[in-house]
Amino acid sequence: MPSDDIALREQGTAFLPKFDSQGLLTAVVIDSRTRDVLMVAFMDRVALDATIETGFAHFHSRSRGRLWKKGESSGHVLRVEEIRTDCDQDALVIIANPAGPACHTGAPTCFYRRLHEGSLEPTAT
Amino acid sequence: MPSDDIALREQGTAFLPKFDSQGLLTAVVIDSRTRDVLMVAFMDRVALDATIETGFAHFHSRSRGRLWKKGESSGHVLRVEEIRTDCDQDALVIIANPAGPACHTGAPTCFYRRLHEGSLEPTAT
């Protein structure tokens, strides 16, 4: 990529989301109240547009191969408060207010275990 | 995947990181002091093992196609304090103490811009 394009992408005000070879970028969802990482998922162009237009987080389900509104069956939607992009615009942080547990297991966050001496154990928080 | 395998992966104590078709999983780095998201990158098996063994975050550089120790040239290494996994073990949260700005642009975090009415603006924090 020419250096002018890199500067534009990294320092400019234009939102130029960069999707990978599979048409996806990474979205990290943060709880706006606790600042905990709730989940990590992928967005294609359609999911990103739906998120921006509706104010609720949408993703591309790789396993189901379709647009997925988070909480569409559980009701545990994620109301988006802010969207941040990283330097090269291939990852987003979605700051959101969750309507319920973010994880399909019922846990508040998907990151409920930590690595300790080669095994997993519950996190304190 | 049989339901027993899913239960083992989601609820068990075995660390069974799930790499995608390109041999990668997503790693989200959090500042252990501020709890800000510093960066998002990818790890293959080699990078994950190097991270666990050395205590410093390593990634797989997709652009360079090789193992990349974060800070190897800048000195801005990430000392790992905790590694968390998500429910299906295809994403990790790395809680780390950064030795300097995490972003190659010199910003403390790569997420220094937010979307506002279709354009990007600097984040307050």
Is the separation of the CB atoms in B105 and A87 below 8 Å? yes
Across the interface, whether the CB atoms of A84 and B119 are under 8 A apart is answered no
Q: Name the average pLDDT for chain A.
A: 95
Pick B49 or A124 by higher pLDDT: B49
User: Residue A87: which of B11, B91, B110 has the nearest Cβ?
Assistant: B110
Strands (E), B21-88: 25-31, 37-43, 58-61, 66-69, 78-85
For residues B29-50, give the mean pLDDT: 98
- For B111, the closest of A39, A84, A123 (CB atoms) is A84
* Measured distance CA(B69)–CA(B83) in Å, rounded: 16
Count Cβ–Cβ pairs < 8 Å, chain A vs chain B: 99
Q: Do B111 and A35 touch (CB under 8 A)?
A: no
| pLDDT of res. B63 | 85
- Distance of alpha carbon B92 from alpha carbon B84, whole angstroms: 6
Q: Rounded mean pLDDT of A15-33? A: 96
Count: domains in chain A: 1
* Contact at CB, A91 and B110, closer than 8 angstroms: yes
Q: Which amino acid is at A123?
A: T
Q: How far is A6 from chain B (nearest CA, A)?
A: 11
Sign of CA pseudo-dihedral B2, A23, A72, B91: positive
B109 token code pair: 């975090």
For strands B25-31 and B91-98, give the pairing.
parallel
Give the pLDDT score at A125: 58
Question: Any idea what the CATH number is for the domain that residue B103 is in?
Answer: 3.10.20.810
Residue type, B13: T
Distance from CA of B28 to the nearest CA of A (A): 8
Segment A70-100, tens digit of pLDDT: 999 999 999 999 999 999 999 999 999 999 9
What does the block give as tokens for B103? 């972003």
Residue A4, annotated as binding a ligand: no
- Per-residue confidence (pLDDT) for residue A76, from 0 to 100: 98
Annotate A65-79 with b (16+ C-beta within 10 A) or e (fewer): eebbbbbeeeebbbe
Per the CB < 8 Å rule, is A114 touching B13?
A: no
H helices within A33-117, ranges in order? 45-54
**What is the predicted ipTM?**
0.94
Percent of chain A's residues with pLDDT above 90: 90
Residue B67 confidence (pLDDT) above 70? yes
The strand ranges marked E within B1-125 are 25-31, 37-43, 58-61, 66-69, 78-85, 91-98, 113-116, 119-122
Q: Give the pLDDT confidence score for residue B100 in this predicted structure.
A: 97
Q: Chain B: which residues have CB within 8 Å of chain A?
A: 10-15, 26, 28, 30, 35, 37, 39-40, 52, 82-87, 91, 93, 103-105, 107, 110-115, 118-121, 123
Q: Which residue of B has its CA nearest to A28?
A: B28
Q: Hey, which residues does B69 pair with through a beta bridge?
A: B58
Is A110 labelled a binding residue? yes
A2 has a pLDDT exceeding 80: no
Q: Which residue range(s) make up the domain with A33?
A: 3-122
